[in-house]
Structure formats: C-alpha cells, structure tokens
Amino acid sequence: SDPNAGYDVVILGSGSAGYACALRAAQLDLSVAIIEKDKLGGTCLHTGCIPTKALLHAGEVADSARHGEEFGVKTEGVSIDMAGVNAYKDGVVAKMYKGLQGLIKASKVTVIEGSGKLVGPNTVEVNGERVTGRNIVLATGSYSKSLPGLDVDGTKVITSEHALRLDKVPSSAIVLGGGVIGVEFASAWKSLGADVTIVEALPRLVAAEDADSSKMLERAFRKRGIKFKTGKGFESLKETAGGVSVTIAGGETIDAELLLVAVGRGPSTAGLGYDEQGVSMDRGFVLVNEHLQTNLPGVYAIGDIVPGVQLAHRGFGHGIFVAEHIAGLNPRPIDEAGIPKVTYSEPQVASVGYSEEAAKEKFGADVVVSYNYNLGGNGKSNILKTQGFVKLVSVKDGPVVGVHMVGANMGEQIGEAQLIYNWEAFPSDVAQLIHMHPTQNEALGEAHLALAGKPLHAH
C-alpha cells in the first residue's frame, strides 16, 4: 500500500504493546501501519516470556523425573539433551510466531519492515520514506543493560538473549541480578544441571516483591542448592581459561564458566528522534499522562519504554487502551498497581497490589492487616509436595489491597487475586465464594475465610 497515504495510527515497534495496539485499532476500523525492524512479536515472543518459560518447563520436567522416587516412581537417571530442549523451545516460539503473523495478516494492518525514526509530530521515516499518521504510537521496547566495566561478549559474559541460544548447559554460572529475569534463569539452569550463584546488590532476591515472598523464595533456593549472595555489588571481572572470575563487594571471588548479566532493561529510545522532536523523557524512558499521551499532540507511548513494570501483559493493556482512546471510546485509565506479576521460577512468586510494607506506607500502619496462609495446610499442595504461602494484605473494614503467593503453579492462581484487588473486594466477599477442593486455588479461599474471621483449615 502507499506509505504516504496517511494512516489513522502509525505504530513504531511490534512487540507485545505495539501489536496489541495494531490489532485493537484495526478491529475498531482504524487504518493502521506498524513498523518493525526485526520480527513481529518483539522481545516477549522471541527472546523473553515464551522461550524462557519453555526452558523453565523443561527444567521442571527434569526435576519431576529426578524426584520420582518421592512419589514411588522409579526413574533410571536423568540427563539433559540440550539440542532437544532447544528444539522444543524453538518449536513453541515458531508456532506462536506463525499464529501472530496470521492474526496480523487477517487484520489488514499494514506491516512495514525497517527501522523507523520520529521526524515530525505526525511523521515517521522508514527506509527513506515518510509515513504519516493522525496518531503516532511509540512502542520500541527495551534492551538488556550492563554495568560500567562489564563488556558483554556473548560467550563468557552474556545477556538473556545469548542465554536462550546456548547449545549446552553451563557446568557453572554466575547470575548478576536477583530480579525476575536473573532468578528465572538461575532456576532453569539449576534444574538443567548447572551449579548456579546469584549475585544481587539489594538485600534480597526479587526485591520488588513483598519481603515474605523474598524470604520464602530464598529458603526454597537454598534447599535446591542455588547459591546467592545478596547485598553484594559486582566489583570486577577477570577472564580465566575456564570462564570468568568475578569479584564482588567485600573482596570475595567466584569462578564460573559464564556470567549472565541480568541487571535490568533500559528503554530502547536513543537515536529514534524522540529527543530531537521534543518528547519529554526521563533517563531514556518516555513520560506519559494517564491516557498514555506524551507531551507532543497525537503522540502516544506504550509498553517497556514507559516507566513502570516491564511486562508483556502491561504492554497488551497499554496497546488496547491507546487504540480505544484514539477511537474515542474513552477507556478507563489503567491502575498499574493492579497489574499482576509472576516470577516463573521453581517455586513461583506471584503478586498483585501492594506489599505489606507499601500498604502500611500508603494507608497507615495502624489500619493494615495481613494474613499468611501456609500451603502446608492445603491438600493439593501436599499432594504436589510443594511449599509456600498465600498472603493477603487488607485494610481494616476495607478491601484487599495486596495478594502475594509463593509455591508451584502460583502464576496460575494470581488471576483470581487480580479480580479481588481490582474489584476492591472485601475479605468477607471472597469468603462467601466456594473454592474447589482439592486445588491449590483453595488456599486463596482459605486465606480469605481466615481474614474474614472464620478460618476452616487454619488458625
């Protein structure tokens, strides 16, 4: 189609945020062009959510086999065929990629391959051509950051992208960063047979989560033999014949075959014309109002380039919101505290809303009540031999303002908690609902029964 036609919406970047915006805008009969320099689907599909979860699942299968005897099932010994693991992982990505290409094709969205740049209020330049849109949506995503003095070489010092392409499991690895991505790789690699040490400058793993969740995860990792050094910053790195030698705060050195740098993701916004065009930014992130509009008229920003949690489903939500806003549907602004978060390690950590500490700060320490239901009392968790808890944070005579979970499969359980938080349910409302027995979901029901003053299988 004619790139100069002038679209209703021109989207720069086709990751979770960009493609969701494109699909929803097309559904609303807007004319849409989406510009992508690499592959439709972006980070999440190709080098993020999907391949990492496949790797983690392969690890879980290996662990199940190793632990067969605990269930009376004898297995002969477990070995990992990394080529097979990669074929499985890449197969899942390929299938989802094909599906997305089909969806985009059926939607009549115009896809322009190339690297785009904002060159005017309503104009993006790509492949030497100008594409104009009544609205421009910036959705260029994020990249793995490193630290000063730490050069990523792709073999001994790697990012998550390289880590997904390894053709063998490292015998030993240092994971720099105990946030979601670091913890997930540490968990997967340990399950696949590596000796893993996490180095984290903050005082605890998954520091963005409730302190009780960090404590429980650390306990579980200790039991699994995943080593971690918290409160210890990276100091220096030396290459050795066998890999790397890393010195951390306090002078301790750790040797391993490779170092994974997982110290956060920066916004991909440099050199794209945002600055020149006068888009308001903060440390490279694009600033927006509650309608995800930048300071430039008709220019929106969505997904990982907007300050806040960098998650694919937040990107989907942003994309849908902006398409509906452009179409004049007046959608309700997104409450970012209501976006659920999951770390898909073994055990999983999941949450929605405020941590106990943040709730006390926001609502006052005297009105915040919390209840911690141990999965030891949950039948299904005992069947699975998984440990953990469901923790509720509530306001006295008020709604539930935070739910935190640790344990196997908790990523699948946080969905109900999201309704509870976002619909501002009181503990007594949820206590009224009957949860299925025996499921892990029942633990959420039990926690609400307890907080409503009528515990069943708890004190």
Please identify which residue in 62, 188, 311, 400 interacts with ligand FAD, judged by CB under 6 A: 311
State both tokens at 130. Answer: 């100008």
Task: Supply the minimum distance, in Å, between the C-beta of residue 5 and ligand FAD.
Answer: 19
Cα separation of 428 and 221, whole Å?
A: 35
Task: Supply the minimum distance, in Å, between the C-beta of residue 46 and ligand FAD.
Answer: 8
* Half-sphere CA count of 283, side-chain side, radius 13 A: 6
Binding to ligand FAD by residue 48, rule CB under 6 A?
yes
Q: Is 457 considered catalytic here?
A: no
Tell me the per-residue interface mask from 53 to 82 with ligand FAD, x by CB under 6 A, - otherwise: x-----------------------------
Strand partners of residue 173: 196, 258
How many CB atoms sit inside 10 A of residue 281's CB? 19
Binding to ligand FAD by residue 37, rule CB under 6 A?
yes
Binding to ligand FAD by residue 35, rule CB under 6 A?
yes
- AA letter at 300: Y
Could you tell me which of 179, 156, 177 has the C-alpha nearest to residue 166? Answer: 156
Could you tell me which of 280, 337, 281 has the C-alpha nearest to residue 308? Answer: 337
Q: Which residue lies nearer to ligand FAD by CB, 65 or 208?
A: 208
Task: Supply the minimum distance, in Å, between the C-beta of residue 315 and ligand FAD.
Answer: 4
Strand partners of residue 248: 234
Cα separation of 232 and 420, whole Å?
A: 37
Q: Give residues with Cβ within 8 angstroms of 431, minimum separation 6.
A: 445, 448, 449, 451, 452, 454
Please identify which residue in 9, 10, 11, 17 interacts with ligand FAD, judged by CB under 6 A: 17
How many CB atoms sit inside 10 A of residue 73's CB? 10
Tell me the per-residue interface mask from 255 to 294 with ligand FAD, x by CB under 6 A, - otherwise: -------------x---x----------------------
Binding to ligand FAD by residue 217, rule CB under 6 A?
no
Please, what sign has the CA dihedral across residues 268, 269, 271, 273? positive
Task: Supply the minimum distance, in Å, between the C-beta of residue 301 and ligand FAD.
Answer: 9
CA–CA distance from 209 to each of 23, 382, 394, 440 (Å)?
32, 25, 16, 21
Q: Which residue lies nearer to ligand FAD by CB, 23 or 311?
A: 311
Q: Which residue lies nearer to ligand FAD by CB, 18 or 402?
A: 18
Cα separation of 333 and 402, whole Å?
A: 20
List of E strands, 211-312: 227-230, 234-240, 243-248, 253-256, 258-261, 265-267, 281-282, 285-286, 299-301
Please identify which residue in 3, 7, 11, 16 interacts with ligand FAD, judged by CB under 6 A: 16
Task: Supply the minimum distance, in Å, between the C-beta of residue 203 and ligand FAD.
Answer: 24
Task: Supply the minimum distance, in Å, between the C-beta of residue 79 and ligand FAD.
Answer: 25
Binding to ligand FAD by residue 226, rule CB under 6 A?
no
CA–CA distance from 244 to each of 1, 186, 240, 314, 445 (Å)?
52, 17, 5, 36, 48
Catalytic residue among 437, 448, 457, 459: 437
Binding to ligand FAD by residue 345, rule CB under 6 A?
no
The CA dihedral of 31, 34, 39, 43, to the nearest 10 degrees, is -110
Cα separation of 274 and 4, whole Å?
A: 21
Binding to ligand FAD by residue 401, rule CB under 6 A?
no
Cα separation of 35 and 123, whole Å?
A: 12
Binding to ligand FAD by residue 310, rule CB under 6 A?
yes
State both tokens at 325. Answer: 């806003």
Please identify which residue in 44, 244, 261, 405 interacts with ligand FAD, judged by CB under 6 A: 44
CB under 6 A: which stretch of 11-19, 192-200, 426-434, 450-458 binds ligand FAD?
11-19
* Half-sphere CA count of 418, side-chain side, radius 13 A: 15
Q: Is 358 helix (H, G, I), strand (E, B) or coil?
A: helix
Task: Supply the minimum distance, in Å, between the C-beta of residue 90 and ligand FAD.
Answer: 15
Q: Which residue lies nearer to ligand FAD by CB, 144 or 374?
A: 144
Q: Which residue lies nearer to ligand FAD by CB, 117 or 291?
A: 117
Q: Which residue lies nearer to ligand FAD by CB, 44 or 420?
A: 44
Task: Supply the minimum distance, in Å, between the C-beta of residue 104 and ligand FAD.
Answer: 13
Q: Which residues contact ligand FAD (rule: CB under 6 A)? A: 12-18, 35-38, 42-44, 48-49, 52-53, 115-116, 139-142, 160, 181, 268, 272, 303-304, 310-313, 315, 344
Active site residues: 437
